Amino acid sequence: MDDAANPYRSPTVTDTPPGTPQGRLVDQIKPFLPGTRLATVASVLIAIVMLLEIVLVGVSLLAISVLTRYAAGEPVADTEFDFVNRLSMGVTGIHQIAFLVSGVAFLNWIYRAHRNLPSLGALELKYTPGWTVAYFFIPILNLFRPYQAVVEIMQGSDPGNVPGSERTASDTQPAGWWWTCWLIASFGSTIASRMFLLTADPATLIAANWIDIAASISSIVSGVLVLRIMRRIDKNQLTRHEYLQSEAGAAFLASLDTRELESEPARLERQFVEALLYGADLIDDRVHYYPDWAASMTREFGAEVEPRLEEIFQLAQQIGRQPRDQWRTLVEASLDSAAPSQP
C-alpha cells in the first residue's frame, strides 16, 4: 500500500491538521529514533569490561597467593612481586580505559532511550534526557537518581503500560538489583583502592584484594543485569512504537494532552523565572524589607520557592536597576516560546 494512503502510518507535521490533539503532539515531540545500534555498541563494550573484571579477579587471587606465602615467612623473590605489580597495573589501566569508553556509550544510549519516551506516549515524566545523564555525576544524587531515571525509562517504554494493549506490564525489579550491585561494586572498589595506597602490611593487602574480588564479582553481576535491562528497554521501545502505529495506538496518541510535556524540572525552572518577575515587581512597589517581601512571595507561590528566596531577592534587586519594560518583554517572550502549545 502506498504510504500516503495508509491511515495508520506515523503522523507527520505536514499532513496532520494543526488543530487536532495529534497535530499538537507532533509539533512538540521529537520523532522516535531506535536505540538498537547504540545499545549494541554499549553492550559489546560492557561485555569487554566484564571480561576484564574476570581477569582482575585472577590477578587478585595471584596477589593473595604471593602475599600469603610472604606473610607465612616463605621466601618470595622480588621478581615475583614485581611481576604481580606490573600485571595488576597493566590490567587495571586497560580496564579503566574500557570502563570510560563503555560509560560514554552507555550514557549515549540512556540519553536516546529517555529522549524517545514522549514519542512513545509517555509524557508524565519527572526527568529529562540531559538530567538523566547528569545525575550520574552529581554527588549524593548519583546514589539514587540514575536508578530512578532508569525505572522511568523502563515504565515509559513498556508496551503493557499503554491503555488498550493486550500485553502485561513487566516489573522494574531488575533495575533495583542492578543498581544495588553497582553501588556495592563502586564502594568496594573505592575502599580497596584506599587500602592499597595507605599500607604495605601483607595482612591488610590480602584483605584489600578480597574486597576487590568481591567488588569485581558485584560489578560482573551488575553488568549482566544492565545488559538484560538494555535489551528489554530496546525491545519494548520498538514494540511500543509499532503498537502506536496501529488504530488503537493512534487513538491513544490523539487523546494525549500535550501540556503534560512540561516535566517537573522544566516546571520548576519556569516557576523560578515567574517568581523572579513577581519579586522584582514587589521591589518596584517599595517592598524592600526582606521578611515582608518573602512573606508576599510565599503567599503567591507556596513553599516550593522558599529554598531559593534569597537568590530570587538578590536577582530581583538587580533587575530593578535595569530597563524594566524591555527586560520583562524579553523574559515573558522566552517563557511563551518554551511553553507547550495550548489546545
DSSP alpha helix (H) spans, the chain? 21-28, 36-71, 78-115, 129-134, 145-157, 173-198, 202-243, 247-254, 264-284, 290-301, 309-319, 324-338
Residue entry with cell 592499597? 196
Evaluate if residue 159 carries a pLDDT over 90: no
* pLDDT of the residue at 298: 81
Query: Of 274 and 165, which is predicted with more confidence?
Result: 274
Evaluate if residue 243 carries a pLDDT over 90: no
**pLDDT averaged over every residue in the chain:** 80
Exposed, middle or buried by CB within 10 Å (0-12, 13-18, 19+), for 31? exposed
Evaluate if residue 229 carries a pLDDT over 70: yes
* pLDDT of the residue at 20: 38
Residue entry with cell 584489600? 208
Query: Of 231 and 11, which is predicted with more confidence?
Result: 231
Percentage of the chain modeled with pLDDT above 90:
43
Sign of the dihedral defined by the CA atoms of residues 226, 110, 37, 4, in that order: positive
Residue 28's pLDDT band, with cuts at 50, 70 and 90, is: low
Over residues 37-45, the mean pLDDT reads 97
Q: What is the tens place of the pLDDT at every residue in 282-328?
A: 776 666 677 877 888 787 777 777 777 777 777 777 655 555 555 55
Residue entry with cell 488504530? 247
Query: Of 249 and 156, which is predicted with more confidence?
Result: 156
Over residues 111-136, the mean pLDDT reads 88
* pLDDT of the residue at 87: 94
Q: Which DSSP state fits 168?
A: P
Residue 105's pLDDT band, with cuts at 50, 70 and 90, is: very high
Query: Is pTM, for the whole model, over 0.95?
Result: no
What's the grid cell of residue 343? 489546545
Over residues 217-236, the mean pLDDT reads 97
The 3-state secondary structure of 260-279, one letter per residue: HHCCHHHHHHHHHHHHHHHH
